[in-house]
């Protein structure tokens, strides 16, 4: 995201260090149409801005390479496009790479999107090969496409028709990583006139006239009507896209910062957010936070506004759940918003354990929490040892002092009931259960308050690395203090003492024995 100094100061005083490398390749993506043909000619004869810190400049001929992708979608016409590009490259003395694509199995993907993906994958692969040959950093290379202000305006309108947000309305960016669009301020008609004056032909794709495709409908039906009211509509819309793009980038940066502060727990397949922070965020930022969190879980999940609003509605009410695309489960409970993937729901045991209550663990086990009130006159330490030793074989049991978790006896009332037995108020006690996280520390029982890495404890107990994600870690809250490494070690801070009066019993059973 550029600063004011970078965007508006004269080139020489921008303070941007030139990234150009004398041998870094510049790959021109050329289909043979008017726009890409003009790009090739201009790259060889004029100055172009590759957004490399040098401004508009001539490109050394040895840096230029051409990529043409033959999609074989139009039979002989596709082969004629390839032949035209070959002849054009021979005329200007440029090396050419031709890729051949097949679309036998789209898997439900849009053909236009699939073809675009094939082109960019081929371009990145070609750049890697050229950089390796030239011993040049990939960051200094450029992939130049021939998108114009006309393309940008058409994409803006297409996305507006689909109901896109700021990111979609930003349309085609001037640059994305090493992909640059040096003709983005020029219209298609201007490039056609440029080629006519230069006496250079180009190829026309007959399918571009088919208005059954949305882009062609916008190009041939919508844009002409808009130009009747404003002949500079393409440039004006392109300028609006620049503004939207800058503001979208800034808002995304704010949302990313807010998401980092809001995240209480992050591991493979799971994100836990602070519900209060998310609820207090501005709606515009909160929507982006939800989208960013989902993207961290699954890059391919495509959220619509209704999905985001459903999540925020749960957050606002303090409870509820919803399912997002790609099977992502969202639950708002006890002040936290948990998002987990479908795969994580099968493999990962993570969530709130109510007291009393139970939750399923991995490997066919279940974790139960119950309340134990010590009978008057009992030696609490002896009571705990007696109860633990009486546990059936195959069970793992730990006793925790409820007061050490911050719960008074009144917090541990299961339910108050109305006269007809309907529960009207639930108790407040709860614990968070998940798996080992990097850097987890605890104060193991018997070490008198000294801390130790949980991973080291598991290593000493000879728990295989592959099995460690299956060990339940009971915490005070998401990202909170470790209370019990399930079946292995209790934390000193939560042990029972002679002063304990109310205990929380934690028990791990096999699922069969728990039924």
pLDDT tens for the chain, 515 residues long, are 676 666 665 544 333 444 567 789 999 999 999 999 999 999 999 999 998 888 899 999 999 999 999 988 888 999 999 999 999 999 999 999 999 987 766 555 677 788 888 999 999 999 999 999 989 999 899 999 999 999 999 999 999 998 888 888 999 999 999 999 999 999 999 999 999 999 999 999 888 888 888 999 999 999 999 999 999 999 999 999 999 999 999 999 999 999 999 998 887 888 989 999 999 999 999 999 999 999 999 988 888 889 999 999 999 999 899 999 989 999 898 788 989 888 876 665 688 998 888 888 876 789 999 988 877 777 888 888 887 777 787 789 999 999 998 887 666 654 444 444 444 344 568 899 998 888 999 999 988 889 999 999 999 998 877 678 888 999 999 989 999 999 899 999 999 988 888 899 999 988 665 45
SS3 19: coil
Per-residue confidence (pLDDT) for residue 19, from 0 to 100: 53
**DSSP letter assigned to residue 511:** H
Q: Residue count of the chain, please give it.
A: 515
Per-residue confidence (pLDDT) for residue 108, from 0 to 100: 56
Q: Give 113's contacts (C-beta < 8 A, 6+ positions apart).
A: none
The owner of tokens 């949305």 is 214
Q: Give 296's contacts (C-beta < 8 A, 6+ positions apart).
A: 266, 271
Of the candidates 255, 355, 263, 268, the one whose C-alpha atom is nearest the C-alpha of residue 308 is 255
Please, which residues bridge with residue 399 across strands? 505
- Residue 271's CB is within 10 A of a number of other CB atoms, namely 25
291/255 Cα distance (integer angstroms): 10
Per-residue confidence (pLDDT) for residue 389, from 0 to 100: 79
The owner of tokens 């209060």 is 276
Helix axis angle, 188-198 relative to 149-162, nearest 10°? 150
55/68 Cα distance (integer angstroms): 26
Q: Can you read off the two tokens belonging to residue 321? A: 């759940």
Per-residue confidence (pLDDT) for residue 395, from 0 to 100: 87
Phi/psi at 442 (5° precision): -150, 170
218/171 Cα distance (integer angstroms): 14
Number of H helices, E strands in the chain: 17, 26
Per-residue confidence (pLDDT) for residue 344, from 0 to 100: 74
CB 373 within 8 A of CB 502: yes
- With residues binned 3-state (H G I as helix, E B as strand, rest as coil), the percentages for the chain, rounded to 5, are 45, 20, 35
CB 251 within 8 A of CB 288: yes
510/515 Cα distance (integer angstroms): 9
Please, which residues bridge with residue 99 across strands? 69
Q: Give 13's contacts (C-beta < 8 A, 6+ positions apart).
A: none
Sign of the Cα pseudo-torsion (168, 169, 170, 173, in order): positive
Per-residue confidence (pLDDT) for residue 373, from 0 to 100: 84
Per-residue confidence (pLDDT) for residue 63, from 0 to 100: 93
Q: Give 347's contacts (C-beta < 8 A, 6+ positions apart).
A: 269, 362, 469
The full set of domains in the chain, from first to last, is: 20-244 (3.40.50.620), 268-346 (3.30.465.60), 349-514 (3.50.40)
Q: Give 410's contacts (C-beta < 8 A, 6+ positions apart).
A: none
CB 39 within 8 A of CB 70: no
> In terms of C-beta density within 10 A (0-12 exposed, 13-18 middle, 19 or more buried), how is residue 141 classed?
buried
Kindly give the residue spans of alpha helices, DSSP state H, lying in 135-230. 149-162, 166-169, 188-198, 214-217, 223-229
DSSP string, 272-339: EEEHHHHHHS-HHHHHHHHHHHHHHH-TT----HHHHHHHHHHHHHT-EEEEEGGGEEEEEETTEEEE
Per-residue confidence (pLDDT) for residue 453, from 0 to 100: 95
Of the candidates 480, 495, 515, the one whose C-alpha atom is nearest the C-alpha of residue 398 is 495
Q: Can you read off the two tokens belonging to residue 214? A: 């949305």
What Å distances lie between residue 249 and 27, 159, 325, 487, CA to CA?
A: 26, 18, 24, 48
Please, which residues bridge with residue 142 across strands? 26
């Amino acid at each position: 995201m550029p600063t004011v100094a970078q965007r508006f100061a004269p080139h020489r005083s921008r303070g941007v260090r030139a990234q150009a490398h004398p041998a870094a390749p510049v790959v021109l993506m050329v289909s043979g149409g008017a726009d890409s043909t003009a790009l090739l000619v201009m790259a060889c004869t004029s100055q172009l801005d590759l957004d490399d810190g040098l401004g508009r400049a001539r490109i050394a001929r040895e840096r230029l390479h051409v990529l043409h992708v033959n999609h074989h979608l139009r039979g002989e016409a596709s082969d004629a496009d390839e032949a035209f590009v070959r002849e054009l490259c021979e005329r200007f003395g440029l090396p050419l790479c031709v890729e051949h694509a097949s679309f036998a199995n789209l898997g439900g993907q849009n053909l236009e999107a699939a073809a675009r993906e094939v082109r960019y994958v081929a371009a990145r692969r070609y750049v890697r090969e050229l950089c390796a040959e030239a011993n040049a950093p990939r960051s200094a290379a450029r992939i130049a496409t021939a998108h114009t202000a006309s393309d940008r305006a058409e994409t803006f309108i297409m996305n507006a028709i689909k109901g896109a947000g700021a990111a979609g309305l930003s349309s085609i960016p001037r640059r994305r990583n090493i992909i640059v669009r040096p003709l983005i301020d020029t219209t298609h008609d201007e490039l056609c006139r440029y080629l006519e004056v230069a006496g250079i032909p180009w190829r026309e794709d007959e399918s571009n006239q088919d208005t059954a495709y949305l882009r062609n409908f916008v190009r041939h039906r919508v844009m002409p009507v808009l130009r009747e009211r404003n002949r500079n509509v393409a440039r004006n819309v392109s300028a609006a896209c620049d503004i939207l793009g800058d503001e979208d980038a800034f808002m995304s940066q704010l949302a990313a910062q807010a998401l980092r502060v809001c995240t209480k727990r992050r591991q493979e397949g799971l994100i836990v957010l602070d519900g209060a922070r998310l609820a207090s965020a501005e709606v515009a930022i909160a929507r982006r936070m939800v989208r960013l969190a989902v993207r961290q879980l699954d890059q391919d999940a495509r959220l619509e506004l209704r999905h985001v609003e459903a999540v925020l509605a749960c957050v606002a009410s303090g409870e509820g759940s919803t399912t997002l695309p790609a099977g992502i489960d969202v639950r708002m409970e006890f002040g936290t918003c948990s998002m987990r993937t479908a795969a994580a729901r099968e493999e990962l045991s993570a969530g709130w354990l109510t007291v009393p209550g139970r939750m399923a663990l991995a490997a066919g086990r279940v974790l139960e929490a119950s309340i134990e009130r010590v009978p008057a006159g009992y030696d609490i330490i002896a009571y705990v040892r007696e109860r633990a030793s009486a546990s059936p074989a195959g069970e793992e049991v730990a006793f925790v002092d409820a007061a050490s978790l911050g719960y008074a006896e009144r917090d541990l009332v299961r339910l108050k009931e109305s006269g007809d037995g309907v529960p009207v108020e639930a108790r407040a006690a709860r614990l968070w259960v998940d798996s080992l996280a990097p850097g987890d520390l605890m104060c193991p029982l018997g070490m008198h308050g000294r801390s130790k890495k949980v991973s080291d404890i598991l290593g000493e107990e000879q728990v295989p690395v592959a099995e460690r994600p299956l060990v339940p870690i009971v915490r005070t809250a998401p990202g909170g203090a470790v209370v019990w490494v399930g079946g292995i070690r209790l934390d000193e801070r939560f042990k029972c003492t002679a002063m304990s009066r109310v205990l929380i019993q934690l028990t791990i059973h096999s699922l069969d024995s728990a039924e």
